[in-house]
Each structure stands twice: as C-alpha cells, then as structure tokens.
Amino acid sequence: MNKLIINAKEASKILGINYWKLLELVKAKKIPHIKVGNRILFREETLEKWLAQKEKQSVERDYKQKITGIKKLGFDFNKDKYNNNFLK
C-alpha cells in the first residue's frame, strides 16, 4: 500500500532531485507541500500532478519560442501555402 503522505527525503528521491534543492523549492513556494510543525510533507499524487503541469508548461513554452523564432525569419503562417506540420 502506498503512503498517503511522504517526507522531504522521500519526495526528493521520487522527483530525482537533491534534498536541498527540494527545500529551496519549498522555501520559494514553487512546489506544493504541507507544513506540520517543523516537518515538510508531500502528497505523492500532488507531486505527480505538479510534474505533469510543469512538463506541459515546458512543451508549450518551447513551442511558443519556436513559433516566435520562425516569425522573426519572415515566415507568414497566414500566407504561406506550405504545410506547417514541421512545427509539431
């Protein structure tokens, strides 16, 4: 049976990041966590959702950067007769 709540050391192993880096993310409020007294806890399910969201954001950001770069080269998506599938 999976644990509902995990501690910071377990969370860092699941995420594949250094324990101290995880604590930096907590301090900056960039990762969802629960504070109980002086303990920092995480829900594994919430971490998985957070990772999926971050992954999606990175793909969208990369796509937008690619489009911006192509537009700077003078490519007009509305006028060009060629198939734009190379962007996907």
Domain locations along the chain = 5-87
pLDDT attached to residue 77: 59
Residue among 70, 24, 11 nearest 88 (CA): 70
pLDDT attached to residue 60: 78
Separation CA 58–CA 64 (nearest Å): 10
pLDDT attached to residue 71: 63
Sort strands 34-36 and 39-43 into parallel, antiparallel or unpaired. Answer: antiparallel
Mean per-residue pLDDT for 3-26? 96
> Model's pTM, two decimal places?
0.65
